[in-house]
Amino acid sequence: MNCFALPGGHVEYGEDPEECVVRELIEETTIKGSNPRLFTVRGKPDRDPRYHVVTIAYWVDVDPAAEPKGGDDAATAEFYDVDYVASLGAEKFAFDHFILVNDIIKAAK
């Protein structure tokens, strides 16, 4: 798809979403996260063109010195400057991640 996306994936059967977010972060970025806190739940039926997906987004603590590396289905993984990310258009992002990223930026200020 060649666009920006937040790390994520699907909750395994019997898995707690808070455990899933930490697992997916490791799988897609090799970064260990901790202390997941709910940020938002998104579930509009047209937010993902493949099928109806419900996103549960969390704040997760990570070591700021950690160096992300792409893993699983992520071609690459990097930390980006917030101003740079905010300057990109929605067409550079997968699904509705541009809206979600901008909501995260607003909430962090």
The pLDDT value recorded for residue 1 is 61
Helix (H, G, I), strand (E, B) or coil at 55: strand
Q: What is the CATH code of the structural domain delimited by 17-108?
A: 3.90.79.10
For residue 25, count CB atoms less than 10 angstroms from its CB and return exposed for 0-12, middle for 13-18, buried for 19 or more: buried
What per-residue confidence (pLDDT) applies to 2? Answer: 84
Longest dimension (CA), the chain: 39
Every domain of the chain and the residues it spans? 17-108
Looking at residue 93, the DSSP 8-state letter turns out to be B
pTM of the model: 0.90
Per-residue pLDDT of the chain (109 residues; tens, 9 = 90+): 689 999 999 999 999 999 999 999 999 999 999 999 999 999 999 888 899 999 999 999 999 999 999 988 888 999 999 999 989 999 999 999 999 999 999 999 8
DSSP state of 30: S
